[in-house]
Structure 1
């Protein structure tokens, strides 16, 4: 078979409509979520009698909660029914949710927006297992790493663009109506793309679908643990989300406290981190030579640790006031940016081969449930990341560079686990 670049997939119907669907969904999720958080933070004095800080954390909790409640059912549905049809129904539900969200934004009914954020989390929970389980059905083995690289790049770029768009739109005088129209329009465009996704068949037609949230979540973990290398790969991916969530969460305060930067510095840090992840994801296909192999993963883990350690030493002890241009033009601050780009690149090298490995090594009739288990564990690790930040930065009074250094050192333990995966795979 002739070997071609992964980008040729973007010209094929078996991949492009799905890619546009998942990109628009990730963009819309982040536009809506970040716009809501900014509305709460800057245009209200709190909701339901609660402080702004409490409501912001409640919003984050409401978006993550559905992954714990409904992932078991979402995995069963994706294994039982035809995946293209599920994608269309999920995107149709998004139109309904965003129609209500548009009305709530237009009228300033913020309490309803919190409920709708929970429903967006439900919608994302049901889309997640299909998103990764469909790839092995539409891609050949020698396309799987490249396809996952494109999906990873698209997801993180959509997160970046959605976050930036929310900030820009919130600066407009008619922010709420414009965002209302935007989220509804994006949901319609996502559904139109979903209508072009080709049918894939339903390999697990006998799989029962039950709504028993806690029981089915435990059952997901049992299914994921049936093959130890797959479970180790899941835990490794979840660790990256722990690490990535820590970086993304700390960027605003890191820019303000440790770099004395303005709002443009926060955006630049986020952009460089995500550009790095996207570049690393795109490099995986060439490095693996189109093979499903975990060879890049240990090198990615080593890079995450070494560059994280260098970042600690790169932060100036007595920073001057900075803007985005200062970071790009001053060699002292440029080192910080280069470390963040490198950390992102190593993150892409780390997670993309692991996703392809999980997809390839799991039975087709259980694949979506194993992806659902991955989503549950990812959510747990991201919650744990937030708690770790609260304990280390709050109770232990460590500064942000020290916290990130600690995580880089702990990452060395993950490197040991990665070598175990490679030996057992």
Structure 2
């Protein structure tokens, strides 16, 4: 059959065919349906909300179904406000949603599902499940409470700030620090980051890495977000960002600026506050508490010194009063010790003298016993030769003079050797 044959038989135009499909859909799908799906694309155009919906295979990222969905402006603004109020986020890519939809086939634009309602409780459940899975993994890694083990330094005055440069919250934070009533001087350095949308995670991690490169320049890190919409905070609920915050070596303070349930990085941070201004107030109060503690310690120190001086003055006065008595006692004790020493010396001298006298007497008796005059009186004689006592006759020769001493006198003789005596002596 040729094209001419089709024309002859009255072929449909595309518009007619689409209109037929539209009538068929309207006749067979005449109600609305609640559908579970994941948003793969989302955008707002002139107040309308356009989405691409997908369904993935279990445990896989492969889509098994796709569809387009639209929410017209007259419904979207109300549904958007209700959804954000409940979840703190605008429906966005990667979010699982429960939608009430009606079929619509437009001859010019094709088929789409028209969204008439959202059920935020379903999304909240999925968000909570994801957050619980992240929290469970952080605890299994042992990093969930790492930041809590850090202490904000007493003099935390060098602040690394992660924020959008143009955010009103960043300005509020800096102004609150600068205008503190105590006159404290804080230094801040901004590490710019995207604080809303899909780039939150990578942007904040990059800022943390930049701070790490000059770690010694700072005391704490403050992550703040304020002055904008509270929607789309999903970027703060990611595992990678939470791990980076939890493992950071400086205390991290978060002031994300939302009233819903705390984000995962709020949970792992050292300290969580609601707003950027509250983060500034925390740092001011920390330094004020230190200043008050120093003042109190100074007051206590002055009081303790005054008390100690009084006590020492009283002690010196008492010692001064005791000095005469102590001197008299010391003098008496010294005199007594001196007397005792003198007595000991005297006794030792007397004992030594007695011992020496006895020894001298003994020596005298021995000397007297050896006195040669006593031997002479007993009939003994001494022969002297050359002024010495003669002990060996062989030393004499004829003609020598010898002197014999007796008890009653001295006799001088000349030596004359007799031949017989000598011969007899030689025979001996």
TM range (shorter): under 0.3
TM-score where L is the length of structure 2: 0.19
TM-score where L is the length of structure 1: 0.19
Decide which structure has greater strand share. Answer: 2
Decide which structure has greater helix share. Answer: 1
